[in-house]
Amino acid sequence: MDQSYYLIQGKRRLSGELMVQGSKNTVLPVLASTLLVKGKTTLFHCPRIQDVFMMTAVMEQLGCKISWKNHDLTVDTSFLKGGNLPLEYTGNLRASVLFMGALLGREGYVTMGKPGGCKIGKRPIDFHLEGFSKLGACVKEREGIYECEAKALSGAEILLPFPSVGATENLLLAAVSAQGSTVLSGCAREPEVCDLAEHLLSMGAQIEGIGTDRMTIRGGRKLEPADYQVPSDRIAAATYLLGAMVTKGEIRLLLRGNNKRMESILKVLEQMGALIDLKEHSIELKMSGKILPIYLATGPHPKPPTDIQSMVLAAALTASGPSFIEENVFESRYQVVQELKKMGGNVVISGRKASVSPVFTLYGSKVNAPDLRGGASLVVAGLGAKGNTIIGSLDDLKRGYEDIGKDFRQLGASITEIIR
């Protein structure tokens, strides 16, 4: 357990420029896709975050060779041995579920412990398993272990009850190995899903309808390893932009990959009063007046992403009027509210709805990060608060951000990590 904590001196106006790290939710499924083929793949600009380290540790347990050169990660899957995912990792690394589709196709079987519950919701994997069954796999659960076996996968028509990002990604990773065509309807359209699909195309897969809610995958084609340029993390970018907004700052973010992925997020920030100039590889944000109140209803892409909800809520606490938030993706993604209340925030939760009554300012306090984006939300709140904020329980934050403290310091914040 990481005993360090962040000490933030609030009300420092942010300014300057920052290159945004690679996208966590792109690189995790792309890592899983490397198991589809024998050989070496290099992921350039890969974020050095805990979730990636855990994913590569699982891959090493499966016989893969891993090497880093700064931010470039090379995986060699030539000596992959079998599809038994190590229990000691999969319990607390939900993203390891993404290995199932690729291993089912490559090895013909995969076993995995039930992915650990999560602080933001139950997060079952029924859509994944039902999809594997439709592709011809035999799926069993024995004492908390899922066993999936398929001599050969065959194409199928699959309709997802909800546009689940992970289920869409897992079924893409399985369908490319199936004989014949698979039609995936009701699928997720998130930029990270498109990133994976485009990477699969570069490996030789044939996929139509990328970016829509219906993809057709012509399986059984010979796939080859393909190196990958990881695009910037749109949720990390949102974090820094909101930090600039609560300090009435002016920053420029440099981004890799296409900026279209930022559109649904930038719309929310502009509604909150930010002046934004979106260029091909950068975003400039200037915030002068107070934050404007917001009505935010999160949802599957192209609706505003659930991953910015906690941070938007933090910024709304000192807006010029009341805000209303609806969390339509996860059933319990308001854990951070109890911590924000310690800083003076005034929020009433009713089910999936949050009503925010504005206060003049937040006050620094001693708080703990309840989950990954809740932790980022506390950093945003601390940057705008009067006085000092101490944020403990940083483990979850480090799953998704390389060094959020260093990044915000580069933008002029006073935030230091104190090792107890």
Q: Give 307 or 339: the residue with its C-beta nearer to ligand EPZ.
A: 307
Taking the complex as a whole, the smallest distance from the CB of residue 244 to ligand EPZ amounts, in Å, to 21
By CB under 6 A, tell whether 112 contacts ligand EPZ: no
Radius of gyration of the chain measured on its C-alpha atoms? 21
Q: Which residue is nearest to ligand EPZ (CB)?
A: 166
Q: Give 94 or 248: the residue with its C-beta nearer to ligand EPZ.
A: 94
Q: Give 12 or 261: the residue with its C-beta nearer to ligand EPZ.
A: 261
Taking the complex as a whole, the smallest distance from the CB of residue 29 to ligand EPZ amounts, in Å, to 7
Q: Are 382 and 391 in contact (CB under 8 A)?
A: yes
Taking the complex as a whole, the smallest distance from the CB of residue 393 to ligand EPZ amounts, in Å, to 16
Catalytic residues: 118
Cα–Cα dist 184/393, whole Å:
39
Work out which of 30, 95, 196, 265 binds ligand EPZ, going by CB under 6 A. 95
Q: Are 415 and 383 in contact (CB under 8 A)?
A: yes
Q: Give 9 or 133: the residue with its C-beta nearer to ligand EPZ.
A: 133
By CB under 6 A, tell whether 134 contacts ligand EPZ: no
Cβ neighbours of 193 (radius 10 Å): 25
Strand partners, 347: 356
Q: Give 164 or 389: the residue with its C-beta nearer to ligand EPZ.
A: 164
Of residues 147 through 166, those in contact with ligand EPZ by CB under 6 A are 162, 164-166
Taking the complex as a whole, the smallest distance from the CB of residue 69 to ligand EPZ amounts, in Å, to 24
- Segment holding 83, helix H or strand E: none
Work out which of 76, 195, 307, 402 binds ligand EPZ, going by CB under 6 A. 307
| Beta-carbon-side half-sphere exposure of residue 176 (alpha carbons within 13 Å) | 31
Q: Is the peptide bond before 302 cis (omega within 30 degrees of 0)?
A: yes
| Single-letter amino acid, residue 32 | A
By CB under 6 A, tell whether 33 contacts ligand EPZ: no
DSSP codes, 123-185: ---HHHHHHHHHTT-EEEEETTEEEEE-SS-B--EEE-SS--HHHHHHHHHHHTTSBSEEEEE
DSSP codes, 353-377: EEEE---S--B--EEE--SHHHHHH
Work out which of 45, 134, 261, 373 binds ligand EPZ, going by CB under 6 A. 373
By CB under 6 A, tell whether 121 contacts ligand EPZ: yes
Cβ neighbours of 332 (radius 10 Å): 15
By CB under 6 A, tell whether 242 contacts ligand EPZ: no
By CB under 6 A, tell whether 409 contacts ligand EPZ: no
By CB under 6 A, tell whether 195 contacts ligand EPZ: no
Cβ neighbours of 342 (radius 10 Å): 17
Q: Are 223 and 204 in contact (CB under 8 A)?
A: yes
Taking the complex as a whole, the smallest distance from the CB of residue 122 to ligand EPZ amounts, in Å, to 6
Name the site residues for ligand EPZ (rule: CB under 6 A): 24-25, 28, 95, 121-128, 162, 164-167, 190, 192, 305-307, 329-330, 372-373, 400
